[in-house]
Amino acid sequence: MGSIVWAFGLFADVSEFYQGHWLILKFPVRIYLCAWPLAGLVLAEKNFCSARGIVGKSVACLSWIGLASYSVYLLHEPLITFRNLIQNQAPFVYFKMPFQIAWFFVILAISWLSYRYLELRFMRPRRQLQVTRMYRRRNSG
């Protein structure tokens, strides 16, 4: 049933279905078009975890990017602005596209480092703070 609705939504998005009062369905159908295949990926999580070969390596790469996704979200705009400043200062006539492609991987690397050395530090369970222990000692006796 889901694939029929997905096919209808795809057809409606390509054709001129969204006219008049049907326009209200445009964005919910687009959200469904994106969410339905992603739901299938979530349901197949166990299969992907035990995958081997090229599929396993692809899943590992996407998991690596997913772990650093919050850092990518936070850092991509400043790093793209920094890239644009570099491009404006240096004349990259022939190397503009290779520089932009390389910068994409720089963003991923910096985001991974941010995840590894900043985010992970705050996600690990910590022992109680020394101040809390001192406060308990004072009030208990």
Q: What is the pTM of this model?
A: 0.51
Helix, strand, coil share (%) of the chain residues, nearest 5:
85, 0, 15
Q: Nearest-CA neighbor of 110 among 130, 134, 82?
A: 82
The per-residue pLDDT for range 29-71, each reduced to its tens digit, is: 777 777 877 777 778 777 777 778 887 888 787 777 777 788 8
Contact criterion met (CB below 8 Å) for 115 and 71: yes
The per-residue pLDDT for range 6-38, each reduced to its tens digit, is: 777 777 766 776 677 667 777 777 777 778 777
